[in-house]
Structure 1
């Protein structure tokens, strides 16, 4: 059994300049926790694989293609491969914490726009 405390995982550098911690990285999936501070945005990008976002805490905005939705704790959002998407925290005080699951594990880079 492998047990990981999400906040013990080291932060990863990323082009979005948001707090990102890689929690699991194995053959079939990549799992990352984002902690998006007030007024931060996960920039528009295209992921080569399907992704789902599970909102752990807070509220924020998710844009996939031309669709935009306000999401909150315990919502799950599916983002198909190769569609432009972004996440945004429009709040003044609360962080927007999101579990990101990419499956299968990407074999090519995410394209930042």
Structure 2
């Protein structure tokens, strides 16, 4: 059994300047934990694999392709491979999201 805690992981360098930590990384999937303070954004970008977001705390505005919606706790959002996506915390409290990429990017 493998148990990982995001709070035990080191912060990863990233172009968004956010608290991003890799929680899990194997050939079939990669899971990152992202903490977004009010006003924080994940800049628009594409990934070569499918991405799933799980909102754990707060509300996050998701822009996937041409669609924009806000999702809160327990929401699961899918972004297909090679589609531009971005995230923003428009709220006044910290938001946290798990980002799962499958299969794991190289």
TM (norm. structure 2) is 0.97
CA distance in 1, matches of 2:91, 2:58: 9
SS of the counterpart of 1:98? strand
Q: Using the alignment, how far apart are the partners of 2:17 and 2:97 within structure 1?
A: 15
Deviation at residue 73 of structure 1 after TM alignment: 0.4
What is the aligned partner in structure 2 of residue 98 from structure 1? 97
Aligned partners of 1:39, 1:95: CA distance in 2, in Å?
9
Distance 1:4 1:106 in 2: 19
> 1:64-93 deviations in whole A, cap 9, x for unaligned?
00100010000000000000000000123x
Consecutive unaligned residues in structure 1, runs of 5 or more: 108-113
Question: Does structure 1 residue 34 correspond to structure 2 residue 34?
Answer: yes
How large is the Cα RMSD of the aligned pairs?
0.7
Work out the CA distance in 2 between the residues paired with 1:51 and 1:100: 7
What is the match of residue 7 of structure 1?
7
Distance 2:75 2:85 in 1: 16
Give the alignment's TM-score, normalised by structure 1: 0.91
Task: Give unpaired runs (5+ residues) of structure 2.
Answer: none
Q: How many pairs align? A: 106
- List aligned pairs for 1:56-75, cutoff 5 A: 56-75=56-75
Report the secondary structure of 2:23's partner residue.
Answer: strand
Runs (4 or more) in structure 1 with deviation over 4 Å come to none
C-alpha distance in 2 between matches for 1:85 and 1:6: 23
Q: Distance in 1 between matches of 2:101 and 2:60?
A: 20
